[in-house]
């Protein structure tokens, strides 16, 4: 999912992205586990409930961020992100803000 999102950054070409990931020894993980989907659902439900309780309007349910956080929690050592606050509900995830 992050790989797909990075394609939308206007200043990053696919070639540059692939080279950067290769240099950092980061590979695209194409597998998903039930635990990852369960963690995604848990955090997604928590956020949606919090928004409803606060009287939030609109349909901002960042499922993609929840999936990214769950994937990082289940499959990696840390998450490198520009928006660390979006992943704060993953309390045991090592988040590296940049």
Query: What pLDDT digit, counting tens, does each position of 71-96 carry?
Result: 899 989 899 888 898 898 899 999 99
Q: What is the mean pLDDT of the chain?
A: 84
**How many residues in the chain?**
98
Residues 65 and 48 in one domain: yes
Residues 38 and 74 in one domain: yes
- Does pTM top 0.85 for this prediction? no
Q: By residue range, what is the domain housing residue 90? A: 33-97
User: What is the average per-residue pLDDT within 23-43?
Assistant: 82
Return the pLDDT at 60: 64
Q: How confident is the model at residue 23 (pLDDT cuts 50, 70, 90)?
A: very high
Q: What is the 3-state secondary structure (H, E, C) of the chain?
A: CHHHHHCCCCCCCHHHHHHHHHHCCCCCCCCCCHHHHHHHHHHHHHHHHHHHHCCCCCCCCCHHHHHHHHHHHHHCCCEEECCHHHHCCCCCCCEEEC
In DSSP terms, 22 is beta-bridged to none
How many separate domains does the chain show? Answer: 2
User: What is the average per-residue pLDDT within 39-49?
Assistant: 83
Residues 20 and 37 in one domain: no
Output the CA–CA distances (angstroms, integers) from residue 85 to 9, 31, 36, 92, in the order listed: 20, 26, 20, 14
Q: Is the pLDDT of residue 58 over 70?
A: no
């Amino acid at each position: 999912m992050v790989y797909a999102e990075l394609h939308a950054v206007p200043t990053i070409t696919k070639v540059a992205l692939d080279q950067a990931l290769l240099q950092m020894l980061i590979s695209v993980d194409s597998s998903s586990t039930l635990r990852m989907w369960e963690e995604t659902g848990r955090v997604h439900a928590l956020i949606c409930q919090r928004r409803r309780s606060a009287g939030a309007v609109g349909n901002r349910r960042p499922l993609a961020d929840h999936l990214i956080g769950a994937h990082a929690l289940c499959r990696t050592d840390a998450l490198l992100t520009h928006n660390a606050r979006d992943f704060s509900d993953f309390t045991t995830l090592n988040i590296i803000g940049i």
